[in-house]
């Protein structure tokens, strides 16, 4: 019985930390930087160049979503998607200004992969 309770406790902790990371802006930023670093093959100098750009993009998105929540009522998912797409497009344009042409192509492929994964998650809900 104690083992079952311990397992349930550990599972609860792990799930709770996973949900907390989704909402934690620093964790979200870290995941995005790590994903871009891997997908684009970035070196340390390039990571230093893109970090402020990605940070600003995520801040804009968080601020926009916060304003939508403050307005009250039901969240308009379509408007949220449009806002996210617009900010991501602006961010990617700024990123491509500091990336090589090859990395720009890889960025487009990375964003397409992210969109496909997001669509799969949404279908599962």
pLDDT tens digits for 63-74?
988 888 888 777
Structure tokens at 52: 């402020």
pTM over 0.95: no
Q: What is the CA radius of gyration of the chain?
A: 18
pLDDT tens digits for 8-42?
555 565 555 444 445 788 999 999 999 999 999 99
pLDDT at site 59: 94
Answer yes or no: are the C-beta atoms of 71 and 83 closer than 8 Å: no
Structure tokens at 86: 């617009």
Residue corresponding to tokens 């230093």 = 48
Total residue count of the chain as it appears in this document: 125
In order of 14, 17, 69, 87, 125, the CA distances from 74 in angstroms are: 30, 27, 8, 22, 18
pLDDT at site 29: 93
């Amino acid at each position: 019985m104690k083992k079952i309770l311990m397992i349930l406790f550990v599972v609860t902790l792990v799930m709770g930390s996973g949900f907390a990371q989704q909402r934690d802006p620093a964790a979200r930023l870290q995941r995005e930087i790590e994903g871009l670093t891997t997908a684009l093959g970035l070196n340390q100098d390039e990571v230093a160049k893109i970090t402020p750009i990605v940070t600003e993009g995520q801040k804009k998105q968080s601020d926009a979503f916060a304003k939508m929540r403050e307005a009250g009522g039901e969240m308009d998912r379509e408007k949220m998607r449009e806002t996210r797409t617009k900010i991501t497009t602006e961010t990617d344009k700024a990123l491509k200004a500091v990336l090589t042409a090859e990395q720009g192509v890889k960025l487009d492929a990375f964003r397409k992969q992210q969109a496909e994964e997001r669509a799969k998650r949404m279908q599962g809900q």
